[in-house]
Chain A
Amino acid sequence: MQQVLVLLNVVVSININQNNQSIISISHSGNPMSMFVCHGAQKPTRTSEEDAAPAVGVSLCDSAPLVWRMQDLRAVRAQGLVGALLGSLPRTPRQNGRLGRPLLLLPEEEGLLRENRKPARPVCLMCGCSQQDWGGAELRQKYEEEERRSFEEQSVLALEDRKSALLRAMTGEYSGAASADDALRRRLQALDQNFTFPQSAMAVQLSTARAGLSYCPEARAFLQACGPTGAEPRCDARYQVFRDLRGRGFYLTSAGKFGGDFLVYPGDPLRFHAHFIAVCVSLDESVCLLDVLAVARLGSNVKKTVLLCSPGPDPGVCYTSLQWSGMI
């Protein structure tokens, strides 16, 4: 399939090669200027293992748990954990409205993933539980092979482009049929023989589907060594509350914008507004009354109920809802 646009003497043509990748080539008067290779919708190749059990590859950057691969993000969302996207989208980088991978998990979400993983798979959450363990040399070889293949494909396509441009130029200018054909044929022959596709004009493919730690064995070993950081008492209260509310089917995200600990949604955040702002305190922690008033007033301004949550002595968490009394 070929679509051609002519833009101020610059020809942009889009071809699709056999890997379902679209190659956009821009040429000025027949000379190739640059080419871009864009990904089609590539499905991840390793399917059997991840389908069997929901083990998720989580990479640690300092202490921040990040999820990189698409199948991992899907698995995390399927378990009801939302997280926050951090990266920029490759096609629309200069904006903050829609962000892309990696996904940053809350410490409570990472803790829940650890708890839920099947005991039959004694896998640390750092590596991407893949059996295909590629060393560095193998990976470089594979990359060079792919680059060579891509170069060959691109030179074929560039030649086709040149020929079609020539054809259009020739048939456009000369009206005489016979002379045009001869000249055309000669030109085309010359092109076939002398055309070279320079290496500098080749487009380099950026693979976004292969991210992960599978090709950095040193990094993986390092991350395997350090375990999760120790919990402070507040963290423990937060984790208990998170686990309890998640167990009741609520979705939770961080509530930094509202001065609380979590925002509690009755369903997926893409479909609902939050109902509660959860503030986690321990039962004996004394809170200034002015702070209680402040957070309750904020909650009533944004139509959310403030929840004071404390993990109790019995296995369970007690909740107190703060609402505006309506008495002025």
Chain B
Amino acid sequence: MSGASGGQKRPPPNWILQHPAYQQMKDLQIEDSAQVHAAFLVYMDLTEVRRWKEVSCVKSSELQVVLLEAREKEGAPTLTILPLPAHQSVTHKSIRHVLDRGFPVLLCAVAADSTLVYQRMTDGLVTPDPPVGPFQDMGRRQHRKRRQQR
């Protein structure tokens, strides 16, 4: 319609760059932009999709990454979330740094297609949940099956 622009529409502005939460993370001055992008995706997932409460971002100076803190619901304990692009590597030491903050840690791996996978990390040895019942005594059933097969 306006011939002066040359017939080509300008691409719409990148909404991520303009999002206030992203701006906040940018202000933390982390060099790894991939990690900041990953952190933003996790932020959006927690706030809009899962609707967690009190989601905020902090900087971890030892690791030079953006960490998120959030609660699942009102009154739930605060968790620390470590968002990382999936192709990166991590050392046990950096995980210990995040654990030392004192809150339970969720590691979130962000794939190239924005798939998110959350893993819980705890200090110490956590016994796994036992298998659920009801338990049936197999008894002779297995032996009978094997004999029939022969």
Using a CB–CB cutoff of 8 Å, the interface residues on chain A facing chain B are 266, 275-276, 281-290, 292-293, 296, 303-305, 307-308, 310, 318-325, 327
- Assess whether B89 is in contact with A288, with CB atoms less than 8 Å apart: yes
Question: What's the Cα separation between A213 and B96 when bound, in Å?
Answer: 48
- Assess whether A327 is in contact with B50, with CB atoms less than 8 Å apart: yes
- Assess whether A292 is in contact with B90, with CB atoms less than 8 Å apart: yes
Determine whether B120 belongs to the interface, using a CB cutoff of 8 Å to chain A. Answer: yes
Q: Give every chain B residue within 8 A of A304 (Cβ-Cβ).
A: 128
Q: Give every chain A residue within 8 A of B128 (Cβ-Cβ).
A: 275-276, 303-305, 323
Partner of B84, one of A282, A289, A320: A289
Size of the B side of the interface (Cβ < 8 Å), in residues, is 31
Q: Give every chain A residue within 8 A of B93 (Cβ-Cβ).
A: 283-284, 310
Q: Give every chain A residue within 8 A of B126 (Cβ-Cβ).
A: 305, 321, 323
Which of B50, B99, B120 counts the most A-chain CB atoms under 10 A from its CB?
B120
- Assess whether B96 is in contact with A284, with CB atoms less than 8 Å apart: no
- Assess whether B96 is in contact with A323, with CB atoms less than 8 Å apart: no
Partner of B123, one of A282, A288, A318, A325: A318
Chain B 72-101 near chain A by CB (<8 Å), digits 1 or 0: 000000000000111111111101100100
- Assess whether B125 is in contact with A287, with CB atoms less than 8 Å apart: no
- Assess whether A321 is in contact with B125, with CB atoms less than 8 Å apart: yes
Question: What's the Cα separation between A310 and B90 when bound, in Å?
Answer: 14
- Assess whether B86 is in contact with A290, with CB atoms less than 8 Å apart: yes
Q: Give every chain A residue within 8 A of B107 (Cβ-Cβ).
A: 292
Question: What's the Cα separation between A308 and B120 when bound, in Å?
Answer: 13
Q: Give every chain A residue within 8 A of B119 (Cβ-Cβ).
A: 292-293, 296, 322-325
- Which residue of the partner chain B has the closest CB to A299? B128
- Assess whether A321 is in contact with B92, with CB atoms less than 8 Å apart: no
Q: Give every chain A residue within 8 A of B91 (Cβ-Cβ).
A: 283-287
- Assess whether A290 is in contact with B87, with CB atoms less than 8 Å apart: yes
- Assess whether A320 is in contact with B95, with CB atoms less than 8 Å apart: yes
Q: Give every chain B residue within 8 A of A287 (Cβ-Cβ).
A: 89-92
Known: A289-B90, A320-B121, A321-B121. 5 other contacts (CB 8 A): A275-B128, A281-B92, A282-B92, A284-B92, A286-B89
Chain B 97-131 near chain A by CB (<8 Å), digits 1 or 0: 00100000011010000000111111111111101
Q: Give every chain A residue within 8 A of B122 (Cβ-Cβ).
A: 320-321, 323
Partner of B124, one of A293, A303, A319, A327: A319
Question: What's the Cα separation between A320 and B120 when bound, in Å?
Answer: 10
Known A287-B89, A292-B90; contact A324-B120, beta-carbon cutoff 8 A = yes
Partner of B90, one of A275, A286, A323, A324: A286
Which of B121, B123, B125 counts the most A-chain CB atoms under 10 A from its CB?
B125
Q: Give every chain A residue within 8 A of B92 (Cβ-Cβ).
A: 281-285, 287, 308, 310, 318, 320
- In angstroms, how far is the closest chain A Cβ from the Cβ of B75? 19
Which of A290, A296, A304, A320 counts the most B-chain CB atoms under 10 A from its CB?
A320
Q: Give every chain A residue within 8 A of B50 (Cβ-Cβ).
A: 327
- Assess whether A323 is in contact with B120, with CB atoms less than 8 Å apart: yes
Q: Give every chain A residue within 8 A of B125 (Cβ-Cβ).
A: 275-276, 305, 307, 319, 321
Question: What's the Cα separation between A320 and B106 when bound, in Å?
Answer: 12
Question: What's the Cα separation between A238 and B67 when bound, in Å?
Answer: 31
A-B contact pairs, 7 of them (CB 8 A): A287-B91, A292-B90, A303-B131, A321-B122, A321-B125, A323-B119, A325-B118
Q: Give every chain B residue within 8 A of A290 (Cβ-Cβ).
A: 86-87, 109
Question: What's the Cα separation between A275 and B85 when bound, in Å?
Answer: 30
- Assess whether B120 is in contact with A322, with CB atoms less than 8 Å apart: yes
